[in-house]
Structure 1
Amino acid sequence: MILVGKISNVIKMLILLQSRGKMKIQELADEIEVSQKQIRNYRQDLEQEGIYIESEPGPYGGYKLLSNNNLLGLNLSIDEISVLDIVLRHLEYNKYIYIQEFKYIVDKIRATTNMKKSLDNSMDYFVKEAKESLSMQENKQKIKDINVAVITRKKLKIKYYSLTSGLKDRVIHPYGLYQYKGDMYLAAYCENRKKVIDFKVCRIKEYEICDVKFKIQSNFSWKSYMNNCIGIYKDNQEIELKLRIKYPISYIVAEKIWVDNQEIIETEDKSIIFKAKMRGLTEIKSWILSMGTNVEVLEPQSLRDEIKQEIEKIQKIY
């Protein structure tokens, strides 16, 4: 069995071989930052799991994945495959970049487990949210290349279009990709801004993988990076937020965990008092304004004033 401590490196090895076709042992060792001996051990571990890597000798040889690898001895239940169908529908609706590949995988799992596509007819699942206007297929190679840079810890040179500063050259250290509200984002350390920020992938107009390694900041963690944010906007300063929210919106808000530290106090008239420490002023304001007259900002006073000013600006337009 593959030990938990090896899993990350083994996955990196599989992705590298899949994306590049064939690689020397030393190339794999350099990319993953392990020894050649460890690469050979990973190969043995994978073979024990039924995933075979061929070794071709000679100056043009190297490791490559066999095309007949079988990863389907999974013993999945009907309920588990139903979950895959729900995920498939969600990805189809959002035009996920690898939807065809994922659909092929699901079909192979169905075939291996003797499940027919008629299962779809019994599903009743639909996603309704805004989708990215650009074709995800156009970004497919871009996302694939960026993911390799993330795995191999290589810097990226990019031309990025920012809404505030326009098109600019940047050198970044890609930490990881994630999806938010139908769009793909890259969290990366920006050498210009000297901090980790989010880049919307569709706004990366040009990119180049540098042959220069980087190290993730020792104090960086995904949990702290996303901590107390209701979206992707992040401010260093936390807001001690206190809202009074009327029914029925109060019921809808209480159904979700917006941030881990939130506190909800129910009142006799079905309203709630919502308390939380939150970051991301832009998104907090947008969230509050979306509730219209059903919400009142009790604290802080500065946010209450900003919401009032925003409402006055809207009134001038109409």
Structure 2
Amino acid sequence: MSKLSNALRMIELLHARKKMKISELAAELEVKERMIRNYRDELALAGIFVESDKGRDGGYYISNTSFFPVRNMSHKELEALVFSATQLTEKASVYAKYAESALDKLKAVQKLERDKERHIYFVHKSKPNYETSDESSKYLQLQDALLTLRKVKITYTSHSGESERIIEPYGFVHYNEFFYCVAYCNTKKDTRIFKLARIRDIWVTGDSYAIPDNFDVRKEFPKFGLMKEYLDVKLYIAEPFATMVQESVWAENQVITKQEDGILFEATMNGKESVKKWILGMGAKVKVLEPASLRKEIIEEGRKLLEIYEM
């Protein structure tokens, strides 16, 4: 196999098996141990960091924050493939060896998907366009610090005024049209949220840090009290938006029922203003059935629009 193929295979093995000794990697890839060290150095240059522990239980492993692009598959698809590959490895089949290799890759994909979700949280399953946003450079700098585990010095404006902070980025959340960085603040000695719009200056330092193994941004962010406006939404959506809505996950518990000329959309959603903006963006192709309070606000917004265009 080529050097690139072996390096990619090494990533898959480490993600799937969590930790492997250099001798095990060398045997699996059928190369000398010095080549494993070369692969490690090459991967580091590409921003994928293979860590190592010494001692009897030591070995190579990949940090939870070293993300690697994989093909998109649903959880159910992955579960089905893992189940199938496992069955083949347990049987005396001519495909057993290949099934074991495939199983390593599938487990690597599963772990990577879980790791990404622990650090990047889009509450409404939407993604802002940073190419046109003035927050672009801030996000990219903080993301780079997260991926390389480097502390960041920022100038931040809060309700009490402007101050300098040293933070350790743990993850990001997009909520109610704004992007937040969840980080440990060295000044306050606690985990805090920092609104990117309020960050003025950013310097990535040379000091390293570690993210707690049990950290999950999806569980931490709600603790800060911003997510309060839960709505049990029921909408009728006509084409062409009916098809478009079905192509995305807007809420974890969403239920979509096909109608003759559209869909019935039901879900518990968070952030009233974002939900309203989403609904209004579909114009006359959507009708709010529940809750009554949201239906009333959408009607009132429609009246205001009518007054503007009748002037």
Q: Which has the higher contact order (CA 8 A, sep 6+)?
A: 2
If the length of structure 1 is used for normalisation, what is the TM-score? 0.45
